Amino acid sequence: MTDADLPARSRERVADWLAEVRERYDCFERVEKRWELAPEAYERDRDRIAAGENGGAGIWVTNDGGEVLLVRNEGDEGWGDPGGKREAGESFETAARREVREETAVEATITGVREVHVLELADESDPDRPALASLIVIFDGRCTGGDPRPREGEIRAVEWFASPPERVLYPEVADRPYPASE
């Protein structure tokens, strides 16, 4: 695949992945986002996409009390759901479970799809550079074991929340349901 083909191929991959998610799961919210990336970040994502490592996944993990497991990354003030990048050949489900385990030491089972984020990745310094497409799948899930603890060097804190925290990484974290508060 040439660099010139990469934007179109990334959009095709995202469309294929969306179709696969629709086949396996009943319903979910689709969120469209445009990320303006620094040139170095755009290059990293371009290289990942070219290597077949496009996309990411996480899990909206709840415990028996209806609390939601959230993480605060090193260097961030806001809280978010645990998750991260998908490795080449890895399913979104496998990536989500692995990322939750690595970031929080918690095992989770997937019960559905909460939402998919369809991303347009743009180089903030070059508006003529073609945007790339990526996909993040946020699953619903239940905690099946483990004591939450942060991954050293990456995650600053891991906590269970009965209601949204004051500071979140992105609006959906505050807008999603927190069963313990219902």
Angle at 105 between CA 118 and CA 175, to 5 degrees: 40
Q: What is the pLDDT of residues 26-78, one digit of tens each?
A: 889 999 999 999 999 999 999 999 988 889 999 999 999 999 999 999 999 99
| pLDDT at 35 (0 to 100) | 95
> Strand, helix or coil at 37?
strand
**Does 6-181 carry CATH code 3.90.79.10?**
yes
| pLDDT at 52 (0 to 100) | 84
**What DSSP element (H or E) covers 123?**
strand 107-123
Residue numbers of the chain with a pLDDT score lower than 50: 1
Nearest residue to 93 (alpha-carbon basis) of 35, 157, 25: 25
Per the listing, tokens 């996909």 go with 135
The residue type found at 170 is Y
Q: Do 113 and 139 form a contact (C-beta atoms < 8 A)?
A: yes
| pLDDT at 45 (0 to 100) | 94
| pLDDT at 182 (0 to 100) | 78
| pLDDT at 4 (0 to 100) | 78
In angstroms, the first-to-last Cα distance of the chain is 50
| pLDDT at 2 (0 to 100) | 55
Domain boundaries, the chain: 6-181
| pLDDT at 1 (0 to 100) | 45
